[in-house]
């Protein structure tokens, strides 16, 4: 499910090879950039340029390590699934708003169509030219908006279904993050408890040592000073 949604993001970005890169990085961590370049069939510089663009959008992150043998740095890339879904969610929300605006125009305004040139204009433009096409001087016909309205409604419904799916996936991601966060917090609590217990034992040992030392000093026989004659 997620991988198909993320490929949709690639289409929204309109960037060549992004879909394939997303598929390579999906559910993996710290993927060697040379491996990505080999699988996609691009040079290392080409693949880096694409990945840098995705990084600027916050869709991928990287770490770099120095190759001890060759002496240069190699980048290892990780896909941010949540950020990708959020970007796609935003793009779909924008798309739905645009489609609804087009639908509103179709429902409230009239359009005219030239059959010869296969172009359509708004009523104002048609009126300005006396309902005559500027290209072929043919007469404009009133467009039947029913078909356009039906298609727009279908596109809106599809986009809203996709948006719902993305929202569900983001909820799953949030749940995963909450579990990881909870696990990390429990681990930190255990570490702190161990540290407190360790410090407590240390204080106890030091206390016993001090008590032992004080007892030894207390029980030590006093030296009797001899009087001078």
Extract the tokens encoding 86.
Answer: 């959020």
d(CA 86, CA 88): 5
Nearest alpha-carbon partner for 13 in 61, 50, 62: 50
Nearest alpha-carbon partner for 25 in 14, 12, 9, 91: 9
d(CA 135, CA 165): 45
For position 39, what pLDDT does the model report? Answer: 92
- pLDDT tens, position by position, 185-219: 888 888 998 888 988 888 888 888 887 777 777 76
- pLDDT tens, position by position, 76-107: 999 888 888 888 888 889 999 999 999 999 99
pLDDT exceeds 90 at position 155: yes
Q: Classify domain 2-79 at the CATH class level.
A: mainly alpha
């Amino acid at each position: 499910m997620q991988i198909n949604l993320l490929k949709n993001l690639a289409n929204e970005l309109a960037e060549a090879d992004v879909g394939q890169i997303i598929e390579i990085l999906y559910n993996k961590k710290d993927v060697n950039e040379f491996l990505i370049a080999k699988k996609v069939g691009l040079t290392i510089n080409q693949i880096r340029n694409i990945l840098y663009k995705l990084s600027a959008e916050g869709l991928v992150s990287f770490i770099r390590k120095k190759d001890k043998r060759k002496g240069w740095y190699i980048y290892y890339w990780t896909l941010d699934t949540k950020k990708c879904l959020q970007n796609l969610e935003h793009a779909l929300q924008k798309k739905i708003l645009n489609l609804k605006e087009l639908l509103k125009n179709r429902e409230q305004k009239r359009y005219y169509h030239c059959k010869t040139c296969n172009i359509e204009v708004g009523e104002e433009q048609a009126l300005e030219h006396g309902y005559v096409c500027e290209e072929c001087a043919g007469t404009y016909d009133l467009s039947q908006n029913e078909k356009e309205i039906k298609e727009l409604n279908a596109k809106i419904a599809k986009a809203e279904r996709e948006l719902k799916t993305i929202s569900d996936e983001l909820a799953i991601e949030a749940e995963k993050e909450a579990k990881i966060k909870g696990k990390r917090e429990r681990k930190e609590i255990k570490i702190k408890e161990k540290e407190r217990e360790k410090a407590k034992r240390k204080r106890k040992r030091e206390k016993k040592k001090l008590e032992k030392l004080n007892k030894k000093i207390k029980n030590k026989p006093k030296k009797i000073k001899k009087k001078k004659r």
